[in-house]
Structure 1
Amino acid sequence: MANFATLDELKARLDWTLDADEERIATSALEDASDLASFHAGRDWPDAASAPRLVRTLVLKACKRYMDNPSGYTQSRAGDETLGWNDSQGENAGTVHFTDDEQKLLAEIGGKRAGLMSAGVSAWGSNIRQYRHRASYVPTDQSPFPLYRDEEEPW
């Protein structure tokens, strides 16, 4: 499985120069985001060139979000050394992840369409001619009730 973005493309989006340890983390983040993109899209492209450009963009967005805040902090204060987390990101806090909108977009790119679908439905043996000469009744409490009005017009 190929990475959909390169380390140099990620470096171009960051506001600082990565040291050796950050480069190692960024490389792992690119691999994780590429794996997640294939999962959410429901398909695997053989190489990065065959994938749509939007997949690369979403992978880079997820990696940049992670590299900007790898611990998933939601609050920080410099004076008293206060750091804070909350449950708004849930299990994704501090990990490479795609937002719900990004996941839906990846699913559409992969060919999955969310929403309602319709399918044609017909009754089994719905050929009227085979019922033309059959007498059918519906069971009731008192006496059987005819399912059809008469033999000539069954419906």
Structure 2
Amino acid sequence: MAYATLDELTGRVDWELDEDELRIATTALADASDLAATYGREWPADRAPRLVKMLVLKSAVRYLRNPNGYTQSRAGDETLAWSDAHGRDAGSVYFTREEIRLLENLAGTRPGLTSVTLSAWGSRLRPHSSGRANAGGLVPVDYEGGRPFPLLDDDGGPW
């Protein structure tokens, strides 16, 4: 399941792909699509967001242009250099950090902080001193503008 086609990929490169490059391009698209599903989620191929397709194509083209991950190449004295910037990903299909963030945002899986209401098993709200049924047990807060928060109770404690 690739999020982009070989025709879409060949339209993004500025040279004619030979037979070996076409084979490599096919596997690059599959690898980039698998990575997109890993960093994002598994979208149905026909309903994946356009940005996913664009990122897959961008990653595959980046790999086709530089399959060995070279950062420097000189003809005189045959100097070749690799960078540790992408670590083990150099010379393979990869997404940049920003591309990974985009995929996480698209999938709604971006890690972050959130608050979650927790309560102990079998606990219940204490009745409010006003006697209102929906008020629950609220504890006052000492700072200006602070809203009271609910206090849960069990049968054994004073609170």
Q: Which residue of 2 aligns with 1:61?
A: 58
Q: Which residue of 1 aligns with 2:23?
A: 24
What RMSD, in angstroms, separates the aligned Cα atoms of the two structures? 1.8
Q: Which residue of 1 aligns with 2:151?
A: none
Q: Which residue of 2 aligns with 1:92?
A: 89
1:39-118 to 2 correspondence within 5 Å?
39-42=38-41, 44-47=42-45, 49-118=46-115
Offset, 1:118: 0.9
Q: Separation in 2 of the partners of 1:70 and 1:7? A: 17
Q: Separation in 2 of the partners of 1:123 and 1:26? A: 55
Q: Which residue of 1 aligns with 2:13?
A: 14
**What is the SS of the residue equivalent to 1:74?**
strand
Q: Separation in 2 of the partners of 1:123 and 1:105? A: 37
Whichever residue aligns with residue 2 of structure 2, its letter is N
| TM-score normalised to structure 1 length | 0.75
Q: Separation in 2 of the partners of 1:126 and 1:110? A: 36
| TM-score normalised to structure 2 length | 0.73
Residue segments in structure 1 that go unaligned for 5+ positions in a row = 130-153
Deviation above 3 Å: which 4+ runs of structure 1? 121-129
Deviation per residue, 1:80-112 (Å, 9 max, x gap): 111011211100000001111111111111121
Structure having the larger proportion of residues in strand: 2
Q: Separation in 2 of the partners of 1:127 and 1:14? A: 64
Offset, 1:128: 4.2
Offset, 1:122: 5.1
Q: Which residue of 2 aligns with 1:135?
A: none
State the structure with bigger RCO (CA 8 A, min sep 6), 1 or 2.
1
Residue segments in structure 2 that go unaligned for 5+ positions in a row = 128-157
Percent of aligned pairs sharing the same letter: 57
Offset, 1:123: 6.6
Q: Separation in 2 of the partners of 1:127 and 1:4? A: 50
Q: Separation in 2 of the partners of 1:108 and 1:118? A: 19
Change (3 A) 1:127 1:110: closer
